[in-house]
Amino acid sequence: MNSKKYPIVVIGGSIASISFIRTLRETGNNDSVLLIYGEDRLPYKRTKINKNMVRGFDKDDFIIADKAWYQNNNVELLNIWATSIDAQNKQIFFEETEPIEYNKLLLATGAGSVIPRIAGIEPAEMHSVQNAADVERLLEVASNKQRFLIVGGGVEGIETADQLIRKGKEVILASRMKYPLQKLFPHEFIQPLEEAMLKRGVQLYSGVSVNSVERVGDHFATKLRGDTIEFDEIVSSTGTLPNIQLAKSAGLNTEKGIVVDEWMHTSNEDILAAGDVAQHHNGIITGLWHAAEHQGKLAALNLFDKKEKHTLPPYRLKTEVFNLFLFSAEYEKLVPNEYEIVKEDEKGVKRWLYFKDDKLKAALMLNDGLRAKQYQQALMEEWSKKRFKEELPLQAPLSFNFSPSF
Ligand X SMILES: Cc1cc2nc3c(=O)[nH]c(=O)nc-3n(C[C@H](O)[C@H](O)[C@H](O)COP(=O)(O)OP(=O)(O)OC[C@H]3O[C@@H](n4cnc5c(N)ncnc54)[C@H](O)[C@@H]3O)c2cc1C
Residues that bind ligand X (CB under 6 A): 11-17, 36-39, 46-47, 49-50, 81-82, 108-111, 129-130, 156, 243, 246, 275-277, 287-290, 292
- How many Å apart are CA 235 and CA 144, to the nearest integer? 16
Cα dist from 24 to 53, 120, 188, 206, 293, whole Å? 34, 49, 45, 46, 13
Read off φ and ψ for residue 272, nearest 5 degrees.
-115, 165
In the bound state with ligand X, the residue whose beta carbon lies nearer, of 16 and 300, is 16
Q: Which of 199, 221, 204 is nearest to 212 (CA)?
A: 221
- How many Å apart are CA 181 and CA 154, to the nearest integer? 5
- Taking the complex as a whole, the smallest distance from the CB of residue 393 to ligand X amounts, in Å, to 27
In the bound state with ligand X, the residue whose beta carbon lies nearer, of 199 and 333, is 333
- Taking the complex as a whole, the smallest distance from the CB of residue 33 to ligand X amounts, in Å, to 15
- Taking the complex as a whole, the smallest distance from the CB of residue 338 to ligand X amounts, in Å, to 26
- Taking the complex as a whole, the smallest distance from the CB of residue 16 to ligand X amounts, in Å, to 3
- Taking the complex as a whole, the smallest distance from the CB of residue 358 to ligand X amounts, in Å, to 29
The three-state secondary structure class of 233 is: strand
In the bound state with ligand X, the residue whose beta carbon lies nearer, of 111 and 392, is 111
- How many Å apart are CA 388 and CA 222, to the nearest integer? 49
Instruction: Give yes or no for a contact between 24 and 307, defined as CB atoms under 8 angstroms apart.
Output: no
- Taking the complex as a whole, the smallest distance from the CB of residue 80 to ligand X amounts, in Å, to 7
The beta-strand segments (E) located in 66-167 are 75-79, 82-86, 91-94, 100-107, 111-113, 147-151
Instruction: Give yes or no for a contact between 207 and 178, defined as CB atoms under 8 angstroms apart.
Output: yes
In the bound state with ligand X, the residue whose beta carbon lies nearer, of 49 and 142, is 49
Task: Report the residue closest to ligand X, judged by CB.
Answer: 110
- Taking the complex as a whole, the smallest distance from the CB of residue 336 to ligand X amounts, in Å, to 26
- Residue at 111: amino acid letter: A
In the bound state with ligand X, the residue whose beta carbon lies nearer, of 38 and 314, is 38
In the bound state with ligand X, the residue whose beta carbon lies nearer, of 17 and 302, is 17
In the bound state with ligand X, the residue whose beta carbon lies nearer, of 246 and 300, is 246
Instruction: Give yes or no for a contact between 140 and 232, defined as CB atoms under 8 angstroms apart.
Output: no
CB under 8 Å to 387, separation ≥6 — which residues? 378
Instruction: Give yes or no for a contact between 179 and 187, defined as CB atoms under 8 angstroms apart.
Output: yes
Read off φ and ψ for residue 106, nearest 5 degrees.
-110, 125
